[in-house]
């Protein structure tokens, strides 16, 4: 069985169990991009509180937010944690938008992943996962997002080595899957939902996991098993 078939098999198993995810929450591309920055190293519930502050203040728009100083931004996004650091990252992103598209994210719509991703990665505070989240969820560009859940699930199923880098892991999907925005969007969302509900860091609930069918033997405590699928 080839890697494409393996990955699509995992996708269909999660989709059948969990149904549609309807990610990423946000009414505008800027709101989605901002959420991707604020969610770094914090729970989404905290991000929602910060976004609520911005929404209630009429600041979920790049021009309005850009008029604030960093201390004012920090106070509003405080619930998201590391608020002073994230205020600077938000400022850096706003500066990028100002230079790139005059603070109008619709001006990025004609860009490609190959052209825009390197530019985003040059923005201080935007790493690969955040950049790919902005590309995929905010701009509808086919850039697969991988995260700790992706690494944990595939690693425990014996599909990837433990020390695989972000780029390699992203390519593990993008090298064989079609560049389909809807597929990438839903696949990442399903991985996160499966990881949160079944594949916790310390103890996996393997017996009831949607992906249990892909394991021949497993331990309820570690979720480490022997994959019935040959390593691609």
* Domain boundary assignment for the chain: 3-20+146-227, 29-138
At how many degrees (to 10) do helices 29-38 and 44-56 cross? 130
Q: Is the pLDDT of residue 230 over 90?
A: no
Cα 141 to Cα 110: distance, rounded to the nearest angstrom: 10
CB atoms within 10 A of CB 110: 9
Helix (H, G, I), strand (E, B) or coil at 215: strand
Instruction: Say what the pLDDT of residue 1 is.
Output: 52
Determine which of 178-182, 196-200, 204-208 has the lowest per-residue pLDDT on average.
204-208
- Contact by Cβ (8 Å): 185, 136: yes
Q: Is the pLDDT of residue 217 over 80?
A: no
Instruction: Say what the pLDDT of residue 27 is.
Output: 86
- Asked if the domains at 3-20+146-227 and 29-138 fall in one CATH topology, the answer is no
Q: Which CA distances in Å does 202 have to 14, 32, 152, 156, 208?
A: 21, 30, 11, 12, 16
Q: Positive or negative, the Cα torsion across 210, 215, 217, 218?
A: negative
Mean pLDDT of the residues in the chain: 91
Q: Which residue has the higher pLDDT, 223 or 186?
A: 186
Domain 29-138: CATH superfamily, name plus number: Hypothetical protein; domain 2 (1.10.340.30)
Instruction: Say what the pLDDT of residue 82 is.
Output: 95
Select the CATH number that applies to the domain covering 3-20+146-227 from these four: 3.40.50.2300, 3.40.50.720, 1.10.1670.10, 3.40.1120.10.
1.10.1670.10
**Which of the 8 DSSP states describes residue 227?**
E
Give bridge partners of residue 215 from the DSSP assignment.
227
Instruction: Say what the pLDDT of residue 25 is.
Output: 81
Entry pTM: 0.90
């Amino acid at each position: 069985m080839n890697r494409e078939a393996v990955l699509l098999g995992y996708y269909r198993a999660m989709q059948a169990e969990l149904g549609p995810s309807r990610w990423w929450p946000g009414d505008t591309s800027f709101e989605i991009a901002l959420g991707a920055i604020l969610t770094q190293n914090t729970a989404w519930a905290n991000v929602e509180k910060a976004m609520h502050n911005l929404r209630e203040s009429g600041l979920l728009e790049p021009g309005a937010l850009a008029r604030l100083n960093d201390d004012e931004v920090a106070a509003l996004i405080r619930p998201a944690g590391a608020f002073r650091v994230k205020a600077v990252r938000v400022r850096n992103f706003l500066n990028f938008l100002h230079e790139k598209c005059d603070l109008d994210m619709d001006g990025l719509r004609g860009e490609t992943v190959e052209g825009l991703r390197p530019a985003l990665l040059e923005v201080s505070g935007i790493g690969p996962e955040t950049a790919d989240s902005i590309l995929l969820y905010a701009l509808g560009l086919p850039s697969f997002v991988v995260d700790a859940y992706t690494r944990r699930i595939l690693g425990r199923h014996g599909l990837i080595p433990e020390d695989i880098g972000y780029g390699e892991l992203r390519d593990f999907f993008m090298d064989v899957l079609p560049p389909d925005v809807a597929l990438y969007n839903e696949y990442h969302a399903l991985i996160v939902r499966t990881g949160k509900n079944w594949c916790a860091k310390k103890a996996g609930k393997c017996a009831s996991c949607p992906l249990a069918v892909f394991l021949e033997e497993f331990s309820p405590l570690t979720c480490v098993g022997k994959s019935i699928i040959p390593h691609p």
